[in-house]
Structures are given as C-alpha cells and as structure tokens.
Amino acid sequence: MTIEQVGVVGAGQMGSGIAQVCAAAGLKVTLCDLNQEALERGLGAISSSLARLVAKEKLSQADADAIVERISINTDMAALAPAQLVIEAATENEELKQKIFRSLDEICQPDAILATNTSSISITRLAAVTQRPEKVIGMHFMNPVPMMKLVEVIRALQTDDAVFQQVTALAEEIGKVPVDVKDAPGFVANRILLPMINEAVFCLYENLASAEEIDTVMKLGMSHPMGPLALADLIGLDTCLSIMEVLYDGFKDSKYRPCPLLVQMVDAGYLGRKSGRGFYNYG
C-alpha cells in the first residue's frame, strides 16, 4: 500500500505540526477535530509557520500556498475514511485515545494503518481495543514538529514488521529521523526528559533557586537551548503531569513521583503557555 493520504486527529500544537510536515512532503492531509475553532486555530498556526519560512526565504510563497491547499479540515471523523494512515494526536489521556481508536477502527479502510502520537501511553493497550492490532503503531513526534527531526517509532507487541517498515519509510519521506523504540512507559525521550523536568520542579518547590535561576543553570551549565521549567511551560504542565503519572504507574518506582508543586499548578489551571501562566507569565 502506498501512503498518499494521511489523516490527523487533533488540531492542537502537535496535530497541526504533523499535518504541516505531511502536507509539505506532498501528501494529502485531512485534519480532524471535534471543535471547529480548534481546527481554524490549527490551520492558522500552520499558515503562520509557513509565513515565517517564507520570510526567511526557506520556502517560496507558491510552495507555502500549495502546502495549505493540500490540507482539508473537518469536524467529522468519517472524513478520514479514505486515508491510508491516520495519526492520532489528541490529549494525553488513555481513555480518550482508546475511544478514538475504536472509532477509527470502524471508519477507516481495513488495510489502513492507525498511529498514535502518544508520548508515554502503551501502544500495545491502544492496539488491543481495535480489530487490527497488527496495524497499530506509535509515531512520537517532537515539539515543535516542523523544526524537530526526531520521530520515535514504537511497535506494539502486535505490530507487523511490514507496518513498522512502512511507517519508518514514511517518517523519512516527511524529513524526519525515525528511531526504533520499544513499547515501555515514556519510551526513551520522555523517560529521560520528564524526570529531569520533574526534578527541576522539585528544586523550585524546595526553594533552591528561582525558576529563572534554575533554567539559567541548565542553559549555561549544560548547554540546553531552553531551561527545563520554560520547556515544561511549552509542553504544557498538564501533559508533563500526565506523563509522570504514566511513568509512576507503569514502573511503580518512587523516583517517578510527580512533584506536589506540579500537581498543584495543574489543579490551579496554570498549564504554561497555553493558559497564559505556568512557571512564567505569558500575558
């Protein structure tokens, strides 16, 4: 099966970025979300991203226009029926993702591949709720998707080798570097990254230094382009907490215990950039 048409479920930061890179590679893309406003925001984010590339002379205006034309938006998941590959990029909530996969399993053609952009949830469990577990796989893109080269490609226990090879080839086709990662809580990227962020939150919680000072230590001392607390704000503190909870539940190891301050900030609605306030203010 040749993949020429891709569906993306979820028009947030990750979903819109995935739609952009797929369309930029010449694929026809259907971006689906239940919320029309979210779809319009997602399409706007894609247009803004492309406009920045045009301004930097990395892309012609004609090419930018062609990319946008290859993306259609729809609030009805039935529009994903013609896609050979559908990538789910919804909120990091296992119950929600399982619901989406059950729906996609009914909507999509029998040989279509169902992928998830989950950053921590078991691909094996998501595959198990479908009638095509051998065609379910993880494609964990990094944020921001148009800029970051890595894609973790994660096989469920049930995934066919042919599906893995096809998705790996597609990742290369859209300009990414695929890395073969086993299905375990947090995979590799977030199993390393999120405990580091969580430890930075503990440093703030214990008043070792201010948020700015903690981030400065990591930027100047470790050559990180962005401090861990600023990065948490970019990711979303609710997403950070969800991943830490997956790690804690999956390994039953106290080293993955979410910092109480992280829990409290999520409870308060201080989610980072998307809410206007996290470890920093974005008013």
Tell me the pairing of strands 177-181 and 150-155: parallel
Please measure the distance between the N-terminal and C-terminal CA atoms of the chain and give it in whole angstroms: 48
With a CB cutoff of 8 Å and minimum separation 6, the contacts of 171 are 139, 151, 153, 177, 178
Q: Take residue 40 and report the two structure tokens written for it.
A: 């319009």
Catalytic pick among 120, 122, 190, 198: 190
Catalytic pick among 16, 88, 120, 152: 152
Catalytic pick among 119, 120, 122, 242: 119
**The residue to which tokens 């896609």 are assigned:** 83
The CA distance from 221 to 228, in Å, is: 13
Catalytic pick among 16, 122, 140, 242: 140
Q: Which residues are annotated as a binding site?
A: 10-15, 33, 49, 56, 92, 97, 119, 143, 274
Look up 119 and say whether it is catalytic. Answer: yes
Q: Which of 146, 152, 115 is nearest to 24 (CA)?
A: 146
List the Cα angle 232/234/235 in 5-degree steps.
65
CA distances from 216 to 28, 123, 278 (A): 42, 36, 17
Q: Which of 200, 207, 277 is nearest to 236 (CA)?
A: 277
Count how many Cα atoms sit within 13 Å of the Cα of residue 277 in the half-sphere of its side chain: 6
Q: Which residues are annotated as a binding site for NAD(+)?
A: 10-15, 33, 92, 97, 119, 143, 274
Look up 74 and say whether it is catalytic. Answer: no
* DSSP-derived secondary structure letter, 92: S
Taking every pair of C-alpha atoms in the chain, what is the biggest distance, in angstroms? 56
Q: Which residues are annotated as a binding site for CoA?
A: 49, 56, 119
The CA distance from 190 to 253, in Å, is: 16
Active site residue ranges: 119, 140, 152, 190
